[in-house]
Amino acid sequence: MSYGTNGNRFAIQTFSLSRKFGDLVAVDGIDLSIKEGELFSLLGPNGAGKTTAIKMLCCLLRPSSGTATVMGRDIHEDPMAVKQIIDVSPQETAIAEYLNAWENLSLIGGIRGLAKEEVKKRSEELLEMVGLAKRAKEQVRKFSGGMKRRLSIAMALVSDPQVLFLDEPTLGLDPQSRRGIWEHIAELKGKKTIVLTTHYLEEADALADRIAIIDEGKIVALGTPQELKDSISDMQVMVVKAKNLPPDVIEGLKEIYPEVKTTDDGIEIGAKELSFYEIVDYLRPRGVAIQSTSLKQPTLDDVFLHLTGKELRE
């Protein structure tokens, strides 16, 4: 085992990290090494174990077996040392409802031991960044869901931690706010180690240095976004734009081509070898009105579907 402090700069290492809830294995023997300054993304469908993994790394959940280190400190042996250097934006919005936005940021700054001046300066920047500067003095229970969410993320950034955990930071935000948060995360890149979980593939694709795809508690793939895409470069994806696509027809098609994904205006079919005629001959007689077909490069979405058999978004 090599820890981050002796030359081999790993910010986070997990060793067969596992967590059970009763009979359910939520995280199943994860081994990861995340480099210092890396932006590492955990991608996985609902219930894959992402939040459970992050909670263990934040010392909120005890592993059932295995362990992990954060900047060389063991999460089980020395949780206080770990807590000194991390911060987290939880998946659920976590704010004090009766305080105003400003006071919420001060609260975090205070318990993380920052000087008042520092908190003030950073809070101003952060409130500006999340677009809440004008409403900073209002009790946050009167905020909209998206505003609360943005404040909750800003709270994770006050203390400027060495290691930052962002659990689905942009879930439920409008595209504009999401882009704002992305820009900020991109600015932090390289300056600190960030572990980001997300349902938005474009988010991981745009931001992450490396991505681990997690399914049913296990890591099923690991690599840079490009490596993951290359891993299925021999795959073809056919885009079918069509009207009148009943679910049972899609299910039937899956018996021929297992990797079928529904899109807004049709389906996408991924496979090593695709037969255009086979697909059209299957769909036409079943009353599907095909408008167009085309081939495209596989995306991370397709990698995901290929590896887990699941679509990422519910």
Partner 1 sequence: MKFAELAIRNFKEMLRDPMHMGLEIGIPAGFLAIFWALGRSMGGESFFTTTMLVPGIAVFGFAFLLMFSAMTLSRDRESALLSRLLTAPLKPRDFILSYSLPYIPMVVLQIAVCFGIGALLGLEMPGNAGLAFLVLLVMGICSVELGMILGLLFNVNQASAVGSVIITLVALLGGIWIDIEAIGGVFYGIGNALPFAHAIDAARYAMIGAGFSSIATDFYWVLGYTVVFFALGTFLFRWRMVE
Ligand X SMILES: Nc1ncnc2c1ncn2[C@@H]1O[C@H](COP(=O)(O)OP(=O)(O)OP(=O)(O)O)[C@@H](O)[C@H]1O
DSSP string, 61-113: S--SEEEEEETTEETTT-HHHHHHHEEEE-SS----TTSBHHHHHHHHHHHTT
**Binding to ligand X (CB under 6 A): which residues in 50-79?**
50-52
Nearer to ligand X, 72 or 169 (CB): 169
Nearer to ligand X, 46 or 244 (CB): 46
Exposure letters 277-296 (e unless 16+ CB within 10 A, then b): eebeebbeeeebebeebeee
Q: In angstroms, give the least distance from the CB of 111 to ligand X.
A: 24
Nearer to Mg ion, 64 or 91 (CB): 91
> Which one of Mg ion, partner 1, ligand X, none interacts with residue 78, CB within 5 to 8 A by kind?
none
Answer for which of 13, 41, 51, 93 binds Mg ion (CB under 5 A) is 51
Q: In angstroms, give the least distance from the CB of 182 to Mg ion.
A: 19
Are residues 9 and 162 in contact, defined by beta-carbon separation less than 8 angstroms? no
Nearer to partner 1, 113 or 175 (CB): 113
Binding of ligand X by 303 (CB under 6 A)? no
Are residues 274 and 258 in contact, defined by beta-carbon separation less than 8 angstroms? no
> Using CB under 6 A as the criterion, what x/- string covers residues 74-93 for binding ligand X?
-----------------x--
Q: In angstroms, give the least distance from the CB of 268 to Mg ion.
A: 26
Nearer to partner 1, 103 or 160 (CB): 103
**Which residues are near partner 1 by CB under 8 A?**
55, 58-62, 79-80, 83-84, 86-88, 90-96, 98-99, 103, 106-113, 139, 155
Nearest to 261 by CA among 228, 214, 198, 308: 308
Binding of Mg ion by 162 (CB under 5 A)? no
Measured distance CA(35)–CA(52) in Å, rounded: 21
> Which one of Mg ion, ligand X, partner 1, none interacts with residue 253, CB within 5 to 8 A by kind?
none
Nearer to Mg ion, 90 or 161 (CB): 90
Q: In angstroms, give the least distance from the CB of 304 to partner 1.
A: 27
Measured distance CA(140)–CA(102) in Å, rounded: 10
Nearest to 100 by CA among 132, 146, 126, 145: 132
Question: Coil, helix or strand for 153?
Answer: helix
- The H-or-E segment that residue 29 falls in is strand 24-35
> Which one of ligand X, partner 1, Mg ion, none interacts with residue 49, CB within 5 to 8 A by kind?
ligand X
List, as own/partner pairs, every contact residues 145-148 make where C-beta atoms lie below 8 angstroms and the sequence separation is at least 24, other chains included.
145/93, 145/172, 146/172, 146/173, 146/174, 146/177, 148/93, 148/95
**Binding to ligand X (CB under 6 A): which residues in 224-283?**
none
Q: What is the tally of helices (H) and strands (E) in the chain?
A: 11, 14
Nearer to partner 1, 94 or 220 (CB): 94
Task: Give the range of 44-52, 76-84, 128-136, 144-152 binding ligand X by CB under 6 A.
Answer: 44-52
Measured distance CA(272)–CA(212) in Å, rounded: 23
SS percent in the chain: helix, strand, coil, step 5: 40, 30, 30
Q: In angstroms, give the least distance from the CB of 168 to Mg ion.
A: 6
Q: Given the rule CB under 5 A, which residues bind Mg ion?
A: 50-51, 91
Q: Given the rule CB under 6 A, which residues bind ligand X?
A: 21, 24, 26, 44, 46-52, 91
